[in-house]
Amino acid sequence: MPGYSHTVTERFLRYVRIDTQSSHTSTTYPSTEKQKDLGRLLVKELQEMGIADAHLDEFGYVYATVPSNTTKMVPVICFCAHMDTSPDVTGKDVKPQIVPSYQGGDIALPGDPSQVIRVADNPALKDQIGHDIITTDGTTLLGADNKAGLAEIMDAVHIMVTHPDIKHGTLKILFTPDEEVGHGVDHVDIKKLGADFAYTMDGESAGNLEDETFAADKATLTIRGVSAHPGFAKGKIENAIKIASRIIERLPRDTCSPETTEDRQGFLHPTDLQATLESATLSFIVRDFSEEGLREKEALLHAIAKGAMRDFPHSTCEIRIEEQYRNMKVVLDRHPQITENALEAIRRAGLTPKRTSIRGGTDGSRLSFMGLPCPNIFAGEHAFHSRLEWVSVQDMEKAVETIIHLAAIWEEQGQ
């Protein structure tokens, strides 16, 4: 789509200046009221583009519809991005700077000499020669995660409403709060949204498409020991603190942990231990790309606990497994066109598509299992959740073009 004048960069620079940091400790929804400040601005901008139904709901979600401009029957596609930024690094008073026509080398950030975006840590910079790189001054995060996605969707909508020659079906826009604190889809109204499937614009390098996430369980071990007065305890006490540490001690050393695995390997990871003499609660997260992998790791945990309990015949250990989320590929494989069309759109934008998997969960994995299949398309975000975050203007423009091609491809395939 060369020739379209993009508004993506000016939008991005406007959105990152609004602080939308979410909070892990809040009990409200959205977790921080300030996220709605950006929501209101996005609604206003959508309405100014003529998107009449754009609105912000009580939970802080933005919903909007770009009406179909074709006579064909085309599935209803949703484009989704999140408005909040990570609680890990401040997002207040973000001062973005642009490094025009990047010529290689490390990028020192002017507001804090200790903050340097190094090529050694960011090999993706090597693909950015000649591009305009946006960073912060080094004192805050940038919030390209996921304001790049917001700006890209907004720019794509703007281009489509001003270019009626681009034919598309009904497009739904969904902007969510609280993604970074794991609650991005808690209050989303799937019925009201009325989409057949969705794409999140929240990925890394230009050309990437993520159609796979971890499958995730939580395992909780409840240990009951035997207590007695320590002065008269010979042959009586079975200390729950020692039982718990015996279990931890028996975990594999060189495999099966976050610190020893990468790529497609899963793990069994202790995350919390509360213990007294009488009782202990030991929590684990279990991660793998397949259900069998989860089952194997859970069987291993059972075997380790059973082995450890042999020395404590009067104590008990119960293991409770709870599902957290599942690999979205299970859902996406049933609807291959969703991923295929995204790969084709990336190709039409002049990029080489690359399918990747996420060692974690996304809102898309939860949406996929709520009936809205949802792979993740690149937004150009790099080094997210840090002061060294960056994005390039040209990658954002490619993401905009990918959205437009994708809408057009679905229309071409309509009846």
CA dist 381 to 51, 205, 206, Å?
Answer: 27, 7, 9
**Window contacting Zn ion (CB under 5 A); options: 34-42, 202-210, 343-351, 389-397:** 202-210
CA dist 227 to 276, 306, 316, Å?
Answer: 10, 20, 13
Query: What is residue 181's three-state secondary structure?
Result: helix
Q: Is 145 in the site for Zn ion (CB under 5 A)?
A: yes
* Distance from C-alpha of 114 to C-alpha of 103, rounded to nearest angstrom: 21
Select 22 or 146, whichever has its Cβ closest to Zn ion.
Answer: 146
- Catalytic residue of the set 84, 180, 238, 381: 84
**Window contacting Zn ion (CB under 5 A); options: 64-72, 92-100, 197-205, 224-232:** 197-205
- Catalytic residue of the set 19, 45, 178, 179: 179
Size of the site for Zn ion (CB under 5 A): 3
* Distance from C-alpha of 364 to C-alpha of 384, rounded to nearest angstrom: 18
Q: Is 86 in the site for Zn ion (CB under 5 A)?
A: no
Q: Is 368 in the site for Zn ion (CB under 5 A)?
A: no
Q: Return the closest-CA partner of residue 111 out of 139, 142, 135, 92.
A: 139
Select 169 or 184, whichever has its Cβ closest to Zn ion.
Answer: 184
The backbone region for 193, taken as left when phi is positive above 0, alpha when psi lies in -120 to 50, beta otherwise, is alpha
How many Å is the Cα radius of gyration of the chain? Answer: 24
Out of 45, 196, 202, 401, the only residue in the binding site for Zn ion (CB under 5 A) is: 202
Query: Tokens standing for 359?
Result: 């060692």
In the block, tokens 């008073």 appear at: 93
Select 8 or 150, whichever has its Cβ closest to Zn ion.
Answer: 150
Residue 177 is given by DSSP the state S
Q: How far is the CB of 414 from Zn ion (least distance, A)?
A: 31
**Window contacting Zn ion (CB under 5 A); options: 2-10, 37-45, 139-147, 333-341:** 139-147
**Window contacting Zn ion (CB under 5 A); options: 2-10, 157-165, 194-202, 253-261:** 194-202
Select 202 or 411, whichever has its Cβ closest to Zn ion.
Answer: 202
CA dist 5 to 111, 153, 157, 387, Å?
Answer: 32, 15, 13, 30
The separation between CA 317 and the C-alpha centre of its own chain, rounded to angstroms, equals 35
217 has catalytic annotation: no
Out of 20, 146, 339, 368, the only residue in the binding site for Zn ion (CB under 5 A) is: 146
Q: How far is the CB of 82 from Zn ion (least distance, A)?
A: 6
Residues that bind Zn ion (CB under 5 A): 145-146, 202
Catalytic residues: 84, 179
